[in-house]
């Protein structure tokens, strides 16, 4: 046998059958006997045969591949959403190609093109923070390829979306801080056009209004919401000299940065300043004190997103009416925001 990748012709030659019989056997065609299927699969393993998904997709019109695009995979939230997507996809014999945009617009555009070139049957995406043009996603829709957005979405695309109720999560955590006696609550948000941060800011502001607590722009800090940004935002608040008794961050990472700075300044949490984040990253339960946060139901979000995708995939009309699924978040109250009894 020639060197290089094994093909169905190599398997056929070894078994003295036709290449079309090998192809049908590998695709579990009912016209092929179980004995032949077993022989083909055994020989395929011996020859280390790898199917050509692109060639198969060109022939059948289906690659059984889904492209999943996330801003970053090293966050518990996104990795858990991907897990939920894979659970549903694997049940239906689909494979998932995971790509990261690293919050880079050009990288996001290139990745969408790469997924299209890989002949994926559809794309599930969460938009990067720096994305403000959506032509690359419109190209997906123009090709008639299913597209679903989750978590970070845009209303500029007529597609189905799966999100949590960011407004409710932020409202509940802010109300919890108010119930603990806090009246000067700092809020860390992002200046970008991302829906999740807009909704969390709105929830924070409405909770203050409903408690008849005046809004103070000096208490709102905008950043990219990473740990170092949280440190910088906390230093900014301390430098301004404004009074505050709590910090609610739209990111667990940024609130962790705030906690570090408060500790360095000998400011006690929760005695002097109460803290709350958003995301329920695993580290929030291991800090001292553990951090109050909002759980985003990431695995259920992944499963619901995948179910929505497969409903669209099997639909005759790939441009059928879109819908938005909103999942309810859960407030996780821990020691960082509680009055000591």
Interacting residues of 246 by C-beta distance below 8 A, sequence separation 6+: 177, 180, 182, 184, 185, 186, 273, 274, 275, 276, 337
Per DSSP, 292 falls in state B
Answer yes or no: are the C-beta atoms of 295 and 152 closer than 8 Å.
no
Structure tokens at 30: 């009912």
* Whole-structure pTM value: 0.81
State the pLDDT at residue 314: 82
Q: What is the per-residue pLDDT across 252-283, written as a single tens digit (0 to 9) for each? A: 999 999 999 999 999 999 999 999 999 999 99
- Structural domains of the chain in order of their starting residue, each with its CATH number: 8-51 (1.10.260.40), 61-163+298-327 (3.40.50.2300), 166-296+332-337 (3.40.50.2300)
Length of the chain: 341
Positions of the chain with pLDDT under 70: 1-4, 52-61, 316-321, 341
Answer yes or no: are the C-beta atoms of 72 and 78 closer than 8 Å.
yes
Interacting residues of 188 by C-beta distance below 8 A, sequence separation 6+: 221, 223, 225, 229, 230, 233, 247, 248, 249, 250, 251, 254, 255, 258
Q: What is the per-residue pLDDT across 79-111, written as a single tens digit (0 to 9) for each? A: 999 999 999 999 998 999 999 999 999 999 999
Answer yes or no: are the C-beta atoms of 166 and 321 closer than 8 Å.
no
Per DSSP, 159 falls in state S
Interacting residues of 8 by C-beta distance below 8 A, sequence separation 6+: 19, 22, 23, 26, 49
For tokens 């059928």, the residue is 320
The reply to whether omega before 176 is within 30° of 0 (cis) is: no
């Amino acid at each position: 046998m020639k060197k290089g990748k094994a093909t169905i012709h190599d398997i056929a030659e070894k078994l003295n059958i036709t290449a079309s019989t090998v192809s049908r056997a590998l695709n579990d065609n009912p016209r092929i006997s179980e004995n032949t299927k077993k022989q083909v699969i055994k020989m395929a393993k011996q020859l280390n045969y790898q199917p050509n998904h692109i060639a198969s997709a060109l022939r059948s019109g289906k690659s059984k591949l889904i492209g999943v695009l996330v801003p970053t995979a090293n966050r518990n939230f996104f990795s858990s959403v991907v897990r939920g997507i894979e659970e549903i996809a694997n049940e239906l014999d689909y494979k998932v190609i995971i790509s990261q945009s690293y919050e880079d617009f050009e990288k996001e555009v290139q990745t969408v093109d790469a997924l299209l070139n890989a002949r994926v049957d559809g794309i599930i995406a969460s938009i990067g923070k720096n994305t403000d043009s959506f032509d690359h996603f419109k190209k997906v829709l123009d090709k008639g390829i299913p597209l679903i957005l989750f978590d970070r979405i845009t209303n500029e695309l007529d597609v189905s979306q799966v999100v949590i109720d960011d407004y409710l999560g932020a409202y509940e955590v802010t109300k919890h801080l108010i119930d603990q006696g806090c009246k000067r609550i700092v809020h860390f948000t992002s200046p970008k056009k991302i829906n999740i941060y807009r909704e969390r800011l709105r929830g924070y502001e409405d909770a203050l209004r409903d408690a008849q607590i005046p809004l103070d722009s000096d208490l709102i800090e905008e950043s990219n919401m990473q740990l170092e940004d949280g440190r910088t935002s906390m230093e900014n608040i301390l430098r301004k000299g404004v009074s505050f008794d709590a910090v609610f961050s739209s990111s667990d990472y940024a609130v962790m940065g705030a906690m570090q700075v408060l500790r360095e300044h000998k400011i006690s949490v929760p005695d002097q300043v109460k803290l709350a984040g958003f995301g329920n990253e695993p580290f929030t339960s291991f800090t001292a004190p553990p951090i109050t946060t909002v759980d985003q139901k990431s695995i259920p979000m992944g499963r619901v997103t995948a179910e929505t995708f497969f409903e669209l995939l099997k639909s005759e009309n790939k441009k059928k009416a879109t819908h938005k699924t909103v999942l309810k978040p859960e407030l996780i109250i821990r020691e960082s925001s509680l009055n000591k009894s």
